[in-house]
Structure formats: C-alpha cells, structure tokens
Amino acid sequence: MLDETLDLLAPAARESAVPLFVDCTFGAGGLSRAILQRIPGSRVIALDADPHAVARAEALALEYPRRVTPVHANFARLRDVLAELEMGGVSGIAYDLGLSSLQLADAARGFAFAGEGDLDMRLDPTSDAATAAQLLATAREGEIADIIFEFGDERNARRIAREIVKRRERSPLRTTSDLVAAVLAAQPRNARGRRGGIHPATRTFLALRIAVNEDLDRLRQSLQEAIACVKPGGRIVVISFHSGEDRVVKHQFAGWRRGGEAQTLTRKPLTPTQTEIAANPRSRSAKLRAAERTRDALRRSA
C-alpha cells in the first residue's frame, strides 16, 4: 500500500519549500526511500525502535545527504523527539505498524514460530523491558490467558495459558520451540492436525509480541501527540494489521473529527489489492486510514 500512502502524503508537501515527513516505522526503509524519490526536496525523519532498522536508516542518510535524520526511539516519544530535533513544522507522519519481514526472518529475535530462537520479542533488544520469556515466567495464568485471547483473538487461550503454566513449573519456557510445543499440546484433540490455514501458534506469538512491546498503548500515545506535530493541512497516514490497532486509529480519528482538529480522508479504510496480497500474503489484513489536520486549527486552539 506504498502507492496509496504516498498519494495521501504528497498533497501535504505543496505548501513547503522543504517538506518534512516523519516515518515512524522505518523498517527496511521502503516508504522513506519512496518519499525521498517521489516528493521533490523532501526530508525524512526516519524513526524506529529497532536499532537494526536505525542502522539501515543511517545507510539511507549517506545515500541522501542532508535529507534523512535517523532516530532510535519508540514512536510513543514522537513529540519529544521532534522537540529535541528543532526541525520545524512537519507536513506528514506515517505509521506502517507491526514487524518488518527482516525482523520475522531473524530467528534470534524470537518473533517467529518457524525458527529456533530465544523468546525475546522486544522491538528494542537493547532496552531493559521484559522479554516474552520473562513475561511467561512471571505472569499469572489468568493474565497470560487474557493476553492471548485479547491480542491474539485465540479461542484456545485458556488451554494454552494452562499448558504454559504447567510446563513452566517443570522448566521455564525459554525458546520459540518451547512455546510452540506448549501451544501444540494445548490444541483440543479434535482440532489437532486438521486445522487448515494458519499455524496453531500464529495467534499466540502475535499476542505475546503485542503485550511485550505494549503496542496498543504506544500507538494510542503517539497518535494523541501526532496531530499537534503536523502543520495545519498536514497529514497522518496509518497502516495497521491488527483489529486492535485499527480500533485505536479509528477511535482517535473520530475524536479529532469531533473536536474539529482533523478531517478523515478515508471514509472507509483502504485495503490491499488481490495482486498485493498475492505478492505479500502478510498484507491481507492491512487497513490504511488517513487524516488531515484542519487548516484553521491554529485559530481554533487560540
């Protein structure tokens, strides 16, 4: 949905000689690169919580001198980051939520059930936040069940949580395969081996990653600050992959609309085309929403 994101961001650049964009989720840098290539004279603040992604942003900064500012930060700190940089008004802010394929492919990060790695799952492995293994070792059974049910939409959440707690009494769950084994053992007998579609551990891994990184709270915090960070006429584009994330975005956009702070540019969320889904099956649940800060916002808040 790169083209749609750019089409929605580009008009906000019209009124600035040097339009400035914030890519809150730099990842592999596809969106930042597209902004630099397609919006003349643009500059990008390239932000990511993952130091590996920031290293890629630093490489892009060498390719585009004076046009890219890499920042290692969680996007929940958006307002402070912009204040520290003192770079002036922002034309647009983009969020492409979730994980990059590079993070999923790196088994050592613990995000994927397919590879063997420690159960870390932190976007920022240099932070002192608890890992997924620590969370599973310390949370109560009910808390684990709630996480898996709420963030993973997993109907077997209670059985999985019970199995995790049973196993951790014998020995802590430390690796991705420890968790996969617990999830498989918790499958109801009649579901084993015949549940088509996704792997039985998919939803549990997703739920834990969301809990470890407090994804929904971070997004809520960031969006609350984002509207004051763009200039009047500036745009905010969010691509989400999870119903909980999309609810946060929808709710925030509705709040801005009611308060006269921004208008929604996407009456219904945009979704990927069949061609995009065929090329990248992970994009099938993507939803894109965009909003524009009200042009007389300064007058309203004065």
Ligand X SMILES: C[S@@+](CC[C@H](N)C(=O)[O-])C[C@H]1O[C@@H](n2cnc3c(N)ncnc32)[C@H](O)[C@@H]1O
> Which C-beta is closer to ligand X: that of 46 or that of 160?
46
Report residue 235 CA to chain centroid gap.
18
Pairing status of strand 20-23 against strand 43-48: parallel
Could you tell me the smallest distance in angstroms from the CB atom of residue 302 to ligand X?
A: 32
Query: Out of 1, 10, 27, 252, which residue is the one contacting ligand X (CB under 6 A)?
Result: 27
Overall residue count recorded for the chain in this entry: 302
Using the contact rule CB under 6 A, the part of the chain among 74-82, 173-181, 201-209, 264-272 near ligand X is: 74-82
Quote the tokens at residue 293: 């800060």
Residue 148 in contact with residue 165, Cβ under 8 Å? no
Q: How far is residue 298's CA from residue 68's CA, in Å, rounded to a whole number?
A: 28
Could you tell me the smallest distance in angstroms from the CB atom of residue 261 to ligand X?
A: 22
Could you tell me the smallest distance in angstroms from the CB atom of residue 230 to ligand X?
A: 18
> Which C-beta is closer to ligand X: that of 145 or that of 206?
206
Q: Helix, strand, coil shares of the chain as percentages rounded to 5?
A: 50, 15, 30
Query: Out of 109, 122, 203, 218, which residue is the one contacting ligand X (CB under 6 A)?
Result: 218
Residues 88-117 that bind ligand X (CB under 6 A): 96, 98-100
Query: Out of 48, 163, 178, 261, which residue is the one contacting ligand X (CB under 6 A)?
Result: 48
Q: Does 68 bind ligand X (CB under 6 A)?
A: no
> Which C-beta is closer to ligand X: that of 160 or that of 248?
248
Q: Does 30 bind ligand X (CB under 6 A)?
A: yes
Query: Which residues lie below 8 Å from residue 176, measured CB to CB, with a gap of 6+?
Result: 107, 110, 112, 113, 115, 116, 117, 118, 119, 205
